[in-house]
Amino acid sequence: MLTKADKYLIDDIHNILENGFWDEDPRPRYEDGTPAHTISVNHVTRKYDLSKGEFPVCTLRPQAWKTGVREIFTIYQKPTNVIAEMCEQGVTWWGPWDIGDGTIGQRYGATVKRYDLMNGLIKDIRENPYGRRKIVSLWQETDLRETPGLPPCAFLTIWNVRGTYLDMVLVQRSGDMLTASGAGGINEIQYAALLLMIARVTGKEPGVFTHFVANEQIYDRHIDNANEMLRRAAEVEAADGAEAVEAATANDTDAAADNAALPRLVLHKEPGCDFTDITLADFEMVNYAPIKPQLKFDLGI
């Protein structure tokens, strides 16, 4: 069965391939030095209601969700910009962005630590739940001008309490759709995990997660993989269609049961727990059976 994220991804791939625009003189390069061109669209929005089982995980290829959660820890829970410390937490891919001092510059975790952003957010949710100023921004001009380094891609979260639910919006300036920013990819998984964490810490239930990407791209060397993911989706849709006919014949159309069978990330931690006490072992991805084999993507750096 296709997840909501899978369906978003299919539509987004079609949209980029049919309506996207090609860049000129790109900054990124592949490892062999070749310019990494992209075809992209502007202003992509996706919305999931976690309370209804709509967890943003793609099943059209395996997603390294544990790796994504580890990175969230390095940014928000045990924030750091030191590459060696990130490696100690299991995040090993930031080496190419070393600015020459063993760090990625005054970026990401260093910004969270400098302004104590997470303690401020948690306190605000607890003490002023219906306030509308719950914004965590990694885009701090003082920090960006202080050192060189990659400006944050996913840089802003906005948090709102809705009764017993905590909702969150993620704003991303740029996204490599098939490797990270796309529907059900690492960025959505890891920020939905962050929503689970903050909701549990503040005694709320995770609610709506919305992701806005200002410019989302497919790299030229990823187009074959994009078409492969469309092919895989078509096979799943064909199988889903056959199962739907059988279910209709059996008069079995229980939508709640269908949602319960979808993959989702579960956080096994008591309400009101300390944010820093949550570990990777507290997470479990259930009902997740992605299509294999994994696809290989050349990265533009």
Q: How does pLDDT run across 3-61, given as a tens digit for each residue? A: 999 999 999 999 999 999 999 999 999 999 999 999 999 999 999 999 999 999 999 99
Confidence of residue 246 (pLDDT cuts 50, 70, 90): low
What is the C-alpha R_g of the chain? 20
Q: How does pLDDT run across 84-105, given as a tens digit for each residue? A: 999 999 999 999 999 999 999 9
Residue 157 near residue 168 (C-beta atoms within 8 A) = yes
Res. 167: pLDDT tops 80: yes
Confidence of residue 109 (pLDDT cuts 50, 70, 90): very high
**Residue showing tokens 């625009």:** 21
Res. 245: pLDDT tops 80: no
Q: Please tell me the distance from the alpha carbon of residue 207 to that of residue 256, in angstroms, as a whole number.
A: 17
Q: Please tell me the distance from the alpha carbon of residue 66 to that of residue 69, in angstroms, as a whole number.
A: 5
Res. 74: pLDDT tops 80: yes
Encoding tokens for residue 43? 């202003």
Residue 34 near residue 190 (C-beta atoms within 8 A) = no
List, by residue number, the catalytic residues: 153
Could you tell me the domains of the chain? Answer: 4-22+37-63+128-286 (3.30.572.10)
Model pTM greater than 0.85? yes
- Supply the pLDDT for residue 253: 53
Report DSSP state, residue 287: S
**21-25, 34-38, 253-257, 297-301: which range is least confident on average?**
253-257
Confidence of residue 243 (pLDDT cuts 50, 70, 90): low
Q: Please tell me the distance from the alpha carbon of residue 50 to that of residue 55, in angstroms, as a whole number.
A: 5
Q: Where are the alpha helices (DSSP H) in 20-156?
A: 65-72, 83-88, 109-115, 117-127, 141-146
Res. 247: pLDDT tops 80: no
Q: How many CB atoms lie within 10 A of CB 47?
A: 15
Percent over 70 (pLDDT), the chain: 94
Q: Where are the alpha helices (DSSP H) in 49-104?
A: 65-72, 83-88
Res. 195: pLDDT tops 70: yes
Nearest Cα to 109, choosing from 145, 72, 81?
81
Res. 252: pLDDT tops 60: no
Q: How does pLDDT run across 130-152, given as a tens digit for each residue? A: 999 999 999 999 999 999 999 99
Residue 204 near residue 246 (C-beta atoms within 8 A) = no
Q: Tell me the average pLDDT across 164-190.
A: 98
